[in-house]
Amino acid sequence: MSLEITGKVIDILPEQSGTSRNGDWRKQEFILEIPGTYPKQVCVVQWGDNIDKFGIAEGETITAHIDLQSREYNGRWYTDVKAWRVARPGESGAAPPAPDGEPWPESSSEGDGAGDDEGDGLPF
């Protein structure tokens, strides 16, 4: 599954860094405003070398290719919107492999998807 959101970068939060049991880490969050009748703001996080590679600037319009990840802590759930690729208007090219290095599965155009549990790759 490939998720992406397009919007204008309205704020870039300060970079955070630290050390965990896996070593040093850095992250930086930025706020995308998604256009529409009722514009929405989404906080997106970029990790490690992607901070330098993406070069996000306030005021630019981007498309962020994202993963959603939730985790539980003390009975509460927290969700991160993690950017693994950023594209600007006019950029082209084939989609890169998924963040875990595996290629994206081919989508099936068979059936209408309603009640069709076979061939969609989902466990339910």
- Position 90 scores a pLDDT of 79
How many C-beta atoms lie closer than 10 Å to residue 44's C-beta? 21
- Tell me what the mean pLDDT of segment 81-85 comes to: 95
For residues 65 and 4, the answer to whether their CB atoms sit within 8 Å is yes
For residues 45 and 29, the answer to whether their CB atoms sit within 8 Å is yes
Fold observed for domain 3-87: OB fold (Dihydrolipoamide Acetyltransferase, E2P) (2.40.50)
pLDDT digits (tens, 9 = 90+) for 25-71: 999 999 999 999 999 999 999 999 999 999 999 999 999 999 999 99
Task: Provide Rg for the chain, Cα atoms.
Answer: 17
- Position 24 scores a pLDDT of 92
Q: What's the pTM value of the predicted model, to 2 decimals? A: 0.68
- The SS3 assignment for 35 reads coil
- Give the domain ranges of the chain: 3-87
